[in-house]
């Protein structure tokens, strides 16, 4: 991953579209944002989204923000606008089995790479949320809290989260005892209680300590710790 072009800066008050404007002023376009949803969940798939928004008014998505800060209805409205307005967008799903096989960090990087590779319009630059992703084939920048400060990353986060939330609601119909439609596979008191009562479902990720304990594959500690993925 590279830095911003030499001599360019993005002011803190530049707004959600500041990174894209800065890059375009230096002749860099198109610009993709990429983000994931579901990395911290212990059930269901990992989903990555990528988006390239057009310059100017056409690329301004009303109400766009980090998907985690939006209500469900607001995310759905943004999702519809992103799909309509984006020059290119993609969504990649990594199954719970593949997450277990690869480990969450490797699965996350792979999902982001695949999402960028699937874009119909090859980007000239990629903005990622939080940490660098190599192997994208073009320059890019890791942006701290990128889904809150860069529009294309925020758009990617909405694509990923809306897609994953819909999938978790479908899984809830198959496995209603776990209430996936409410917590979307993340650990909550209700989810923990369901794991204790029923054991893991076929869509739980066995790399997570709490899931292995519920399956009887690992002993319970004297004091229950927070959710931790197995180091590997």
Q: Helix 72-85 vs helix 151-174: angle between axes, to the nearest 10 degrees?
A: 120
CB 96 within 8 A of CB 203: yes
Distance between CA 95 and CA 206 in Å, rounded? 12
Which of 132, 152, 159 is CA-nearest to residue 143? 132
Mean pLDDT score, 191-220: 94
Residue 231: predicted pLDDT:
42
- Annotate 23-65 with three-state secondary structure: HHHCCCCCEEEEEEECCCCCECCEEEEEEECCCHHHHCCCCCC
Q: Quick check: helix, strand or coil at residue 108? A: helix
Mean pLDDT score, 181-194: 97
Q: Could you say which DSSP state residue 222 is in?
A: S
Q: How much is the mean pLDDT over the chain?
A: 91
Give the chain's length: 232
Does the pLDDT value for residue 1 go beyond 70?
Answer: no
pLDDT in tens, 120-176: 999 999 999 988 999 999 999 999 999 999 999 999 999 999 999 999 999 999 999
Does the pLDDT value for residue 184 go beyond 90?
Answer: yes
Mean pLDDT score, 170-187: 97
pLDDT in tens, 89-107: 999 999 999 999 999 999 9
**CATH numbers and ranges of domains, the chain:** 18-169 (3.30.420.10)
Q: What's the predicted TM-score (pTM) here?
A: 0.91
Longest Cα–Cα distance of the chain, Å, equals 59
Mean pLDDT score, 23-32: 95
Structure tokens at 195: 């794991």
Q: Which residues of 185-205 are buried (b: 16+ CB within 10 A; e: fewer)?
A: bbbeeebbebbeeeebbebbb
């Amino acid at each position: 991953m590279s830095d911003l072009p030499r001599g360019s800066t993005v002011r803190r008050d530049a707004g959600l579209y500041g990174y894209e404007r800065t890059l375009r002023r230096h002749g860099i376009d198109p610009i993709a944002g990429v983000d994931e949803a579901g990395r911290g969940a212990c059930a269901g798939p990992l989903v990555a989204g990528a988006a390239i928004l057009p310059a100017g008014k056409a690329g301004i998505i009303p109400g766009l923000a980090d998907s985690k800060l939006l209500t469900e209805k607001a995310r759905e409205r943004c999702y519809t606008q992103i799909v309509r307005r984006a020059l290119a967008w993609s969504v990649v799903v990594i199954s719970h089995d593949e997450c277990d096989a690869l480990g969450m960090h490797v699965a996350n990087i792979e999902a982001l790479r695949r999402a960028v590779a699937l874009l119909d319009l090859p980007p000239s630059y990629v903005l990622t949320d939080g940490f660098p992703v190599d192997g994208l084939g073009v320059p890019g920048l890791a942006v701290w809290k990128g889904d809150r400060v860069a529009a294309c990353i925020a758009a990617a986060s909405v694509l990923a989260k809306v897609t994953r939330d819909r999938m978790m609601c479908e899984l809830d119909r198959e496995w209603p005892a776990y209430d996936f439609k409410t917590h979307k596979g993340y650990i909550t008191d209700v989810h923990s209680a369901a794991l204790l009562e029923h054991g893991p479902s076929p869509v739980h990720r066995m790399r997570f300590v709490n899931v292995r304990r519920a399956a009887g594959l690992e002993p319970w500690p004297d004091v229950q710790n927070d959710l931790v993925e197995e180091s590997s």
